[in-house]
């Protein structure tokens, strides 16, 4: 009896791994492209501190000039 439970458990585990591996290909999504998109979003939404006034701005809104981060043209002094 216990041998049957172990055998069915192993068979179920193998079937699960097989189906789960194929499922992402069937749906058209792969985990690497999702991870890259999420990573880009995180990088864009990262807060950075202005070197002059200390205001925090997102990376995509910041101005990087000579290796320093600024929140506006006024802080850069342009």
Q: What top-level class would CATH report for the domain 45-78?
A: alpha beta
pLDDT one digit per residue (tens) for the chain, 78 residues: 888 889 888 988 888 887 776 665 555 555 555 577 777 776 777 888 999 999 999 888 889 899 899 999 999 986
Locate the domains of the chain by residue range. 1-42, 45-78
- Distance (Å, whole) CA 63 – CA 72: 7
Query: pTM score, two decimals?
Result: 0.47
Which residue reads 């194929």 in tokens? 22
30 alpha-carbon distance from chain centroid: 13
Helix, strand, coil fractions of the chain, as percent rounded to 5: 55, 15, 30
């Amino acid at each position: 009896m216990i041998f049957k439970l172990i055998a069915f458990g192993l068979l179920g585990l193998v079937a699960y791994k097989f189906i789960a591996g194929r499922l992402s290909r069937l749906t058209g999504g792969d985990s690497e492209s999702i991870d890259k998109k999420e990573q880009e979003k995180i990088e864009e939404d990262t807060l950075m501190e202005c070197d002059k006034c200390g205001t925090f701005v997102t990376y995509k809104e910041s101005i990087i000039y000579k290796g320093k981060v600024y929140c506006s043209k006024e802080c850069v002094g342009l």
